[in-house]
Amino acid sequence: MDTYTVNSKQRILIIGTYRSGTQTLTRAFSEIFKIKSLQEPWNRRLHRHKKHKYPECLKKVDCVKTLVHIVPPGVKNFTEFYTDMVTYFDHVVILGRRDRVKLAESFHTAEISHQWRDRYYLGENYDFKLEMEVHNWVCDLLVKVSEELKIPITWYEDLYSGDMDTIQKCIDKWSFDIDIQKLFKYIDPQHKYRLKNPKSVI
């Protein structure tokens, strides 16, 4: 793809795993570019009373974020589905997390509290008995989709690192320009949900 400056006629798709910063990135794109977004159209937790039909729902907004393992009812082949889905967009960002254990810890913390945006602290003695098989399947699926689409994964650990050079390398993977200073307002690591100090939890 050529490099563009995003406007309302250029549309962005974000494909990611849970707990990898996809929601924050969607909000950033939506507010910076002033475009309408849709979060996880086939996630029944978010849209219990509303069905989003594919591909009609994609045409109503300029930015869509979907979790890689959550697809419309009836879809059996994930890679075929995403190969078709990307044709409705000008730009695609694939966002994942290298540290699968921390991904799982974050997921289970949110599951227990039923709060997906709350900040939290884990001490040294916690024990979730993590079911890594499920989390590994989701992460492996993202890798497979990335390879099939030939779009490199942007890693959470890099994008939310706080290091401007590392963040710029993430942006360079994308097919559009974005002001790094405006983006940093959203991805500043001080906003991370997981805290290093328990006294920081409010």
DSSP string, 127-152: -----HHHHHHHHHHHHHHHHHHT-P
Q: Which domain holds residue 109?
A: 4-190
Instruction: Tell me the pTM.
Output: 0.89
Q: Identify whether 95 is part of a domain.
A: yes
The model's confidence at residue 116, banded by pLDDT at 50, 70 and 90, is low
In a domain, 110, yes or no: yes
**Number of neighbours of residue 152 by Cβ within 10 angstroms:** 13
Output the CA–CA distances (angstroms, integers) from residue 28 to 49, 61, 183, 202, in the order listed: 26, 15, 6, 24
Judge whether 201 lies within some domain: no
Tokens encoding 157: 């650990």
161 is a domain residue: yes
| Any domain includes 179 | yes
Residue type present at position 167: I
> CA quadruple 41, 35, 25, 186: dihedral positive or negative?
negative
Give pLDDT, residue 2. 44
- Measured CA to CA, the distance from residue 43 to residue 24 in angstroms comes to 17
Which residue in 144, 142, 175 sits closest to 156, CA to CA?
142
pLDDT in tens, 141-190: 999 999 999 999 999 999 999 999 999 999 999 989 999 999 999 999 99
Q: What is the CATH number of the domain that holds 106?
A: 3.40.50
Residue 86's pLDDT band (boundaries 50, 70, 90)? Answer: very high
Based on the structure, what is the number of domains in the chain? 1
Domain annotation covers residue 103: yes
Is 197 part of a structural domain of the chain? no
Beta strands in 42-161 (DSSP E): 63-67, 91-96, 120-121, 153-155
Q: Evaluate if residue 1 carries a pLDDT over 50.
A: no
- Say if 196 falls within a structural domain: no
